[in-house]
Amino acid sequence: MDVIPYRKDKNLGLAYNEIFRNSKEDVFCFRDGDTLFLTHDYGSILDEYHRLYPEAVLVCYINRASPLSVGQLYGRKVNNDPNILNHIQIAEKLKSRLYDVAKVDRDISGTLMVIPRTVWQKFPFREDGLCLGQDTEWNRRIRKGGVNIMRMEGLYLFHTYRLVNGIYDKKHLLNG
């Protein structure tokens, strides 16, 4: 199930946890509200990846995120190109690698995360009221606990990620 977690108080960890607590679904695809799937078959692609790698947390290639998430950035760098047609071409090109994966051993951006309930049950998110840092703290904890984070080589997601104000503008993520 594809879900965009949100809470007015910006307690992102609580938002993630409430989604799992209030549902019987076995897996969720969490993604940021400023993202866009670029191919019509993204749902079946996500389902098949999860079927093939049911115990892993899955992430995908993205165009924009913190440079620290280099393992997800297509081309290993932030892409400032606002032309969506160019990104659609990338998404179509990557479909030639459908169902291949690569292990990610570095910090990830939570832009898109396919999380099995079994992983969440062992590693629920912090509910400390913070938005910033949730993805980093959680992915470090699950990797230390032996959970594999795998990048879906055949899926690309467009992420506006502060395209207008720059990647270091975090005002909208802070409480207050």
Sign of CA dihedral 33, 39, 41, 46: negative
User: For 85, how many CA atoms within 13 A lie in the half-sphere containing its CB?
Assistant: 0
| Residue 69 vs residues 35, 75, 86, 138, 157: alpha-carbon distances, Å | 16, 12, 21, 14, 14
Ordered by where they begin, the domains of the chain are 2-173 (3.90.550.10)
Per-residue pLDDT tens over the stretch 11-36: 999 999 999 999 999 999 999 999 99
pTM check: above 0.75: yes
Q: How many CB atoms lie within 10 A of CB 90?
A: 17
Per-residue pLDDT tens over the stretch 103-120: 999 999 999 999 999 999
